Amino acid sequence: MTQKPAGLRWGVLATGGIAHAFTSDLRTAGLDVRAVGSRSARSAEAFAAEFGIANAHGSYEALVADPEVDIVYVATPHPAHAENALAAIAAGKHVLVEKPFTLTGEEAARVADAAAGAGVLAMEAMWTRYLPHMARIRELLADGALGEVRTVFADHTQRISTDPAHRLNALELGGGALLDLGIYPVSFAWDVLGAPETVTARARLAETGADAEVATIMTHTGGALSTSISSSRAAGPNTAHVVGTEARIDIDRVWYCPTSFRLLGPDGTVLEDHVSRVDGRGMQFQALAAERLIAAGAIDSDVLPLAESVAIMRTLDTVREQIGLRYPQE
């Protein structure tokens, strides 16, 4: 396990499922989780007892004001991300904001501006970017191992719930496949091919108006293409592929989690077989990256710069405009 830098104190804002997964991985990595905040004191106390956290707060306001907290992990539903991140920044805290960074591109820009003005790190918790197999893939791309990259394919498809009250089907909670699932392949395409020059999207909307399935085709610099499919109603292969003129990368399921990949020549020869062996789920790598950046005096990620997170949210805005998806908060 990578050794942690010295000593940031983490505060966890919210106590839902993703907060549990993240905090478990921080504990696995030996990081200092100092406080938790919830809208319910009982929920905060139960979470603190589960993970051995010293400070439990019955409000988000109390958490961001805690003088023993250096960095806040925002784990609330999408529509609250901007508000919670801005509150933490105003209190002088660094922030790691669960993906999607915000609900809209406009909100993302406001958070980015506030963080820059306060001189604190604001980072999107797109944990996949920080996983070991993704770091190796970026090395191969930088070394030209694939030749000219022509296409990226990725899906994120799960069978989750048809219940109209479920978070993924509730528009007021930012529901839909795009922001929860589709952001992974869209962000991956950005990582490999850079900003899209054109975006085309189609979707099937659920009974509530949230998107159940979304497909995208994007063109990138030099004519490269990326395609993605996301679904909350049906489970697909959850694999990803990067195809170049000299080789391709096939990432196994589940490609956005710690997994294996192969670098293959045009004739199918295996040029590299990479297997990730990671403790826990792997969410600790983004936290370790945040700690290293702050220790170095940086206020932006070198793996996923904040300007890119803002631009990705604007790409998702474009997708939503094309598929006719609008949230009540807009």
283-309: average pLDDT: 97
pLDDT in tens, 29-46: 999 999 999 999 999 999
CA distance 135 to 87: 32
CA distance 107 to 114: 11
The percent of residues in the chain predicted with pLDDT above 70, rounded, is: 98
84-93: average pLDDT: 98
Q: What torsion, rounded to 10 degrees, do the Cα atoms 279, 16, 228, 304 define?
A: -70
Confidence band of 7 (pLDDT split at 50, 70, 90): confident
Q: Are 174 and 166 in contact (CB under 8 A)?
A: no
Element (H, E) at 81: helix 81-90
- Type of residue found at 89: I
Element (H, E) at 294: helix 284-295
Work out the number of other CB atoms within 10 angstroms of the CB of residue 307. Answer: 12
- Type of residue found at 316: L
Work out whether the CA dihedral 153, 300, 292, 63 comes out positive or negative.
Answer: negative
pLDDT in tens, 126-174: 999 999 999 999 999 999 999 999 999 999 999 999 999 999 999 999 9
Please name which of 319, 302, 79 lies closest in space to residue 186, comparing C-alpha atoms.
319
Q: Tell me the average pLDDT of the chain.
A: 96
Confidence band of 6 (pLDDT split at 50, 70, 90): low
pTM: 0.95
Confidence band of 178 (pLDDT split at 50, 70, 90): very high
Work out whether the CA dihedral 22, 23, 28, 32 comes out positive or negative.
Answer: positive
Three-state SS at 149:
strand
Sequential DSSP letters for 254-285: STTSS-EEEEE-TT--EEEEEE---SSSSTHH
Element (H, E) at 224: none
Question: In order of start, what are the domains of the chain with their CATH numbers?
Answer: 9-127+283-299 (3.40.50.720), 132-277+312-323 (3.30.360.10)
Q: Is the pLDDT of residue 83 over 50?
A: yes
Three-state SS at 69:
coil
Q: Is the pLDDT of residue 103 over 90?
A: yes
Please name which of 267, 224, 271, 272 lies closest in space to residue 244, comparing C-alpha atoms.
224
| More confidently predicted of 330 and 272 | 272
pLDDT in tens, 185-201: 999 999 999 999 999 99
Confidence band of 3 (pLDDT split at 50, 70, 90): very low
pLDDT in tens, 107-118: 999 999 999 999
CA distance 70 to 5: 14
Q: Are 39 and 6 in contact (CB under 8 A)?
A: no
Q: Is the pLDDT of residue 4 over 60?
A: no
